[in-house]
Structure 1
Amino acid sequence: MVKILILGTGSMATNHAAAFKAAPNSSVVAAVEPDADRRAAFGKQFGIENLFPDLESAIAWGGFDAAANVTPDAVHYPTTMRLLEAGKHVFCEKPLATNYPLALEMAETAEAKGVINMVNFTYRNSPALQKARELVASGAIGEIRHFEASYLQSWLVGKQWGDWRTESRWLWRLSEEHGSKGVLGDVGVHIVDFASFAADSNVATVESRLKTFHKAPGDKIGDYPLDANDSAVMTAEFANGALGTITATRFATGHANDLSLALFGTAGALEVKTDGRASSLRICTGEKDIDGQIWKDVETPPVATTYERFVIACNTGVNGDPDFRRAADIQRILDLCFAQDKARTLTAAAPAVEG
Structure 2
Amino acid sequence: MRLLILGTGWMAQEHARQFGKIKGVEIVAAVDVDAARVGEFADSFGIPNRFTTLEEALKWGGFDAVANVTPDRIHHPTTMALIAAGKPVLCEKPLAENFGKANEMADAAKAAGIVNMVNLTYRNVAALQKARAMVLAGEIGTVRHVEASYLQSWLVSKFWGDWRTDPKWLWRLSRDHGSNGVLGDVGIHILDFASYGAALDIDHVFCRLRAFDKAPGNRIGEYGLDANDSFAMTLDFANGAFGVVHASRWATGHFNELRLRIYGDRGGLEVVHNLEGSELKACMGANIETAKWQVLDAGTVPTNYQRFVDAVLSGVQPEPSFHHAAELQKVLDLAVVSDEKRAELRAHADTQ
Same fold, TM exceeding 0.5? Answer: yes
C-alpha contact 2:206 2:339 (8 A) present in aligned 1: no
- The equivalent of 1:326 in structure 2 is 324
- The equivalent of 1:351 in structure 2 is none
* Structure 1: distance between partners of 2:275 and 2:68: 20
- The equivalent of 2:142 in structure 1 is 143
- The equivalent of 1:159 in structure 2 is 158
C-alpha contact 1:203 1:238 (8 A) present in aligned 2: yes
Amino acid at match of 2:13: T
C-alpha contact 1:284 1:295 (8 A) present in aligned 2: yes
Q: Runs (4+) of structure 1 moved beyond 3 Å?
A: none
Q: 1:293 aligns with which of 291, 294, 304?
A: 291
Structural RMSD (CA): 1.0
Secondary structure of the residue aligned to 2:67 is: strand
TM-score scaled by structure 2? 0.96
Secondary structure of the residue aligned to 1:74 is: helix
Residues 130-162 of structure 1: CA deviation (Å, up to 9, x unaligned) = 000000000000000011100000100110000
Amino acid at match of 1:258: E
Q: What are the equivalent positions in structure 2 for 1:82-121 lying under 5 Å apart?
A: 82-121=81-120
C-alpha contact 1:31 1:50 (8 A) present in aligned 2: yes
Tell whether 2:332 aligns with 1:311: no
TM-score scaled by structure 1? 0.95
Tell whether 2:282 aligns with 1:270: no
Distance apart, 1:23 and its partner CA: 1.4
Stretches of structure 1 lacking an aligned partner (at least 5 in a row):
346-355
Amino acid at match of 2:293: W
Residues 306-346 of structure 1: CA deviation (Å, up to 9, x unaligned) = 1110000000000111010110010000000111222349x
* Structure 1: distance between partners of 2:23 and 2:337: 43
Residues 155-197 of structure 1: CA deviation (Å, up to 9, x unaligned) = 0011000000000000010111111111001011100000000
Amino acid at match of 1:125: N
* Structure 2: distance between partners of 1:64 and 1:55: 12
Distance apart, 1:63 and its partner CA: 0.5
C-alpha contact 1:123 1:276 (8 A) present in aligned 2: no
Amino acid at match of 2:290: G
- The equivalent of 2:346 in structure 1 is none
Distance apart, 1:277 and its partner CA: 5.8
C-alpha contact 2:205 2:338 (8 A) present in aligned 1: no
Tell whether 2:52 aligns with 1:53: yes
Amino acid at match of 1:104: N
Distance apart, 1:57 and its partner CA: 0.4
Stretches of structure 2 lacking an aligned partner (at least 5 in a row):
344-352
Distance apart, 1:29 and its partner CA: 0.7
- The equivalent of 1:348 in structure 2 is none
- The equivalent of 2:279 in structure 1 is 280
Residues 109-131 of structure 1: CA deviation (Å, up to 9, x unaligned) = 00000111000000000010000
- The equivalent of 2:17 in structure 1 is 18
Distance apart, 1:25 and its partner CA: 2.6
Residues 190-233 of structure 1: CA deviation (Å, up to 9, x unaligned) = 00000000111111111000001110111111111111110010
* Structure 2: distance between partners of 1:314 and 1:275: 30
Amino acid at match of 1:52: F
- The equivalent of 1:201 in structure 2 is 200
Secondary structure of the residue aligned to 1:329 is: helix
Secondary structure of the residue aligned to 1:209 is: strand
Q: 1:338 aligns with which of 331, 336, 339?
A: 336
Amino acid at match of 1:55: L
Tell whether 2:74 aligns with 1:75: yes
* Structure 2: distance between partners of 1:276 and 1:92: 23
C-alpha contact 1:68 1:90 (8 A) present in aligned 2: yes
- The equivalent of 2:127 in structure 1 is 128
- The equivalent of 1:35 in structure 2 is 34
* Structure 2: distance between partners of 1:307 and 1:180: 26
